[in-house]
Amino acid sequence: MTVQLYLRRSSGRSEMVSPAIVLAFVPLLVTLIIRYRYHFLLLYRAVLVRMVLDCTTGISREERAFQYLLTHSLPGDPDSILDTFDHWSSRVEYMSNIGPKKGKVLDRLITDNTPLTVLELGTHCGYSAVRIARGLPLGARLYSVEMDECNAAIAEKVIRLAGFDDDTVELIVSPSEEVIPQLRERFGIERLDFVFMDHWKRCYLRDLQLLEGSGLLGKGSIILADNIIFPGAPHFLRYVKSSGLYQHRIHQATLEYFRGIRDGMAELTFIGTK
């Protein structure tokens, strides 16, 4: 018996579509599934699982992560906080922290450059704030900016659980585009030695230019921007390469807690105008 498939047009007539045409798309579909299997897995873990757990537990993913930290980590021990967070994000419920592998680049830059004044854009739950703060020299201070009040509340608890007080890590709850122009007048900052960007990727270029305009970047100031390949910040990268204001280096990596998705970080050193 011949199999016949039909498409109905607006005129009311039906036209037969050969099964061979439909079957011709199967290899393409299979190829796409195989090629982007890690992206489908990320969608499942980061979105679908989160939605289900949000409904069944009645609390946010960030609050679930903090509860896990409370019961599985050692208070006052930053290393224990980070290790527990890494286990949660890789084995329990996915969360897009910088992670241990890319985190080593951040650790090295903090250790080698001993910055005294650090700005973080995008605190989220406080993972990277704890990672930065544990490597800072005595007397240094981290200003961490988070626009989401709920995430900031969790981050505050995580940072304090790790043992850092307000003198070491100051959490600023406000959009980055409002905070950056106020850093000099409101917080008395004359120069930023180190900036870590891990907020909305579409804001990277805007906020970099705001930092330039504020006069807070001095010769040798370092900016480290995460996720510049995935989800990606192409306009930011083009500007950095063409502006003549920075020496730049791309650290190739994979997405945090996902081996199959290519990612990277951009390390910039401000050299000023030529």
For 94-124, the pLDDT digits (tens) are 998 999 999 999 999 999 999 999 999 999 9
From 63, 226, 263, 267, active-site residue: 226
Active site residue 226: yes
Which CATH number does the domain housing residue 263 bear?
3.40.50.150
From 86, 193, 198, 267, active-site residue: 198
Residue 1 is assigned to a structural domain of this protein? no
Residue 5 is assigned to a structural domain of this protein? no
Active site residue 201: yes
DSSP character for 165?
A: -
Q: What is the pLDDT of residue 14?
A: 47
Active site residue 185: no
From 146, 156, 256, 263, active-site residue: 256
> What pLDDT, in 10s, does the model give residues 159-204?
999 999 999 999 999 999 999 999 999 999 999 999 999 999 999 9
**Domain span including residue 218:** 97-270
β-strand partners of 192: 217
How many structural domains comprise the chain?
Answer: 1
Residue 59 is assigned to a structural domain of this protein? no
How much is the average pLDDT of 33-50? Answer: 83
Residue 3 is assigned to a structural domain of this protein? no
From 201, 207, 263, 267, active-site residue: 201
Cβ contact 173:144 at 8 Å: no
How much is the average pLDDT of 215-236? Answer: 96
Residue 179 is assigned to a structural domain of this protein? yes
Distance CA(247)–CA(172), nearest Å, equals 29
Q: What is the pLDDT of residue 145?
A: 98
Residue 79 is assigned to a structural domain of this protein? no
Q: What is the pLDDT of residue 37?
A: 78
Please name the residue ranges forming H helices in 127-270.
Answer: 127-133, 149-161, 176-179, 183-187, 204-214, 234-243
Share the mean pLDDT of the chain: 90
DSSP character for 201?
A: G
Residue 128 is assigned to a structural domain of this protein? yes
Q: What is the pLDDT of residue 22?
A: 59
Active site residue 227: yes
From 62, 207, 227, 267, active-site residue: 227
Residue 201 is assigned to a structural domain of this protein? yes
Residue 4 has pLDDT above 80, yes or no: no
